[in-house]
Amino acid sequence: MSRRRAVTGLLVRLALPVLAIVVVLGALPLYGRLTSSSRISPALREQLRAGQPSYSVQVELTLRPQYFNIQKLQSLGTLAGVKGTSVKVLDIGAAQVHTIADLYWVKQVKTIGES
């Protein structure tokens, strides 16, 4: 009986850290998706409602863009420049705008030239 209890205790001690990692890694994308609508500026939201075929946006990140941030944005559209925490992405569709807004490390998505 004590051997069974020891094995169960070991499994619990091994499973809890794995479960914690899964929760943490899943929480950030979920947070991004749940809060994405608040990251799209009112002017861009209005353009999305009008149904334009393509958009050029300025993406404000929470930190200076790193390699993986640039790679992800390049996979969605054409990058036109990086300045500080801001990245310009050109010629993207409405779906790509929403995909960018879903990213938890994005602070705001707005039209180029919007302050």
> What is the pLDDT, as a whole number, of residue 85?
96
Give the domain extent around 75: 35-111
* 54 found inside a domain: yes
Task: Examine residue 74 and state whether it is found in any structural domain, yes or no.
Answer: yes
Which tens digits make up the pLDDT trace of 28-42? 777 778 788 899 999
Q: pTM of the entire structure?
A: 0.78
> Based on the structure, what is the number of domains in the chain?
1
45 is a domain residue: yes
Quote the CA–CA distance of 115 and 106 in Å, as a whole number: 16
* Mean pLDDT to the nearest integer, 52-78: 95
Calculate ∠ Cα 23-97-84, nearest 5°: 80
Residue 9 lies in a domain: no
Domain of 67, CATH number, reads 3.30.70
Could you tell me which residues come within 8 angstroms of residue 108 by beta carbon, excluding any fewer than 6 positions away? 39, 40, 41, 59, 60
In a domain, 70, yes or no: yes
